[in-house]
Amino acid sequence: MRAGADSAITRNGKSIILAYDHGLEHGPTDFDPVPETADPEVLWDLATHSAVTAFAVQKGVAEAYYPSYEDDVSLLAKLNGTSNLWMGEPDSAVNWTVENAADLGADAIGFTLYGGSNHEVEMQEEFRDVQEAARDEDLGVVMWSYPRGQGLKNDKKPGTIAYAARLALELGADIAKVKYPGSEESMRRAVRAAGPAGVVMSGGSKTSDRDFLETVESAMDAGAQGLAVGRNVFQREDPEGILDALEQVIFEEATADEALET
């Protein structure tokens, strides 16, 4: 699967990946703004929204709920992850095997790579095993490509984000999930660096409707394939409303203004 080729986690070559691995990565504090979002079922229901092309979760949340949602939700199995309690150099434990995720019915796998970390070499080797197993199982491969660690403080510099996008291509991912580098021009550079791999923008911490939709519009204008988003959807009182607007901007090429008007 490469960008443009439609798959179980894209629609017309575009993606909105709803991410819900925050209970592991950040802890339940991310659910405080809308306390009912601590209940995974609330998010599984949200993932049935027509805008969502894949739902990214860790193994436990998938095992407990996916059998009830398999007809309505495409599962993106997030294979590695680390808690916010870990204080060491950026690293991510591989908590789920490709084979087990495939047995459960996953459509694609997700894997975090911290380029620049002291653990980059091991993480690349883990990714090699995962990527090859995913090819054997015919699963799409999404890399959460987050340069981080040692001297890398600002992980959103344009050159760093372009490098992150390129790492995903070089190592065999279909889609690179990268942070927004601050401008359309910088995002275009990342998209160019990714070549045939698609690039999805990472949602980030919650911002206003206008700021968020304008950033998404700019990423799409730069050639991004879509968005992978958690907090900017589930920390809103009206998550369906923002998914409606995102559907317009990403799949119907509406501007942020147009999406805000409806």
Catalytic residues, by residue number, are 177
19 with 40: CB under 8 angstroms? no
Q: Is 22 in the site for ligand FBP (CB under 6 A)?
A: yes
CA-to-CA dists, residue 237 to 31, 36, 54, 173, 242, angstroms: 12, 11, 21, 34, 10
189 token code pair: 């550079």
Q: What is the dihedral angle through the alpha carbons of 41, 45, 51, 53, rounded to the nearest 10 degrees?
A: 60
Question: Interface mask (CB under 6 A) for ligand FBP, residues 243-262, using x and -?
Answer: --------------------
> 230, 245, 250, 256: which one contacts ligand FBP (CB under 6 A)?
230
Per CB under 6 A, the list member of 16, 18, 19, 243 interacting with ligand FBP is 19
Cα separation of 16 and 230, whole Å? Answer: 10
Nearer to ligand FBP, 66 or 144 (CB): 144
Q: Interface with ligand FBP includes 96 (CB under 6 A)?
A: no
Taking CB under 6 A as the criterion, the residue among 229, 243, 249, 250 binding ligand FBP is 229
Q: For residues 119 and 113, give the distance between their C-alpha atoms in angstroms, rounded to a whole number.
A: 9
Distance CA 174, CA 100 (A): 20
Residue nearer to ligand FBP on the CB measure, 1 or 24:
24
Compute the C-alpha angle 260/76/92, nearest 5°: 105
**Hey, how many other C-beta atoms are within 10 angstroms of the C-beta on 25?**
18
Residue 137 burial by Cβ neighbours in a 10 Å radius (0-12, 13-18, 19+): middle
Name residue 57's beta-bridge partners: 77
H/E element, 120: helix 120-137
Site string for ligand FBP, 24-63 (x = CB under 6 A): -x--------------------------------------
Pairwise CA distance, residues 239 & 29, whole Å: 18
Q: Is residue 144 near ligand FBP by the rule CB under 6 A?
A: yes
The least CB distance from residue 98 to ligand FBP, in Å, is 18
| Binding flag, residue 21, ligand FBP (CB under 6 A) | yes
The nearest distance, CB 146 to ligand FBP, in angstroms, is: 6
When CB distances to ligand FBP are compared, the closest residue is 203
CB of 127 to ligand FBP, least distance (A): 16
Site string for ligand FBP, 187-226 (x = CB under 6 A): ---------------xxx----------------------
**Which residues from 99-138 bind ligand FBP, rule CB under 6 A?**
none
Contact positions with ligand FBP (CB under 6 A) in 59-88:
none
Query: For binding to ligand FBP (CB under 6 A), which residues are involved?
Result: 19, 21-22, 25, 144, 202-204, 228-232
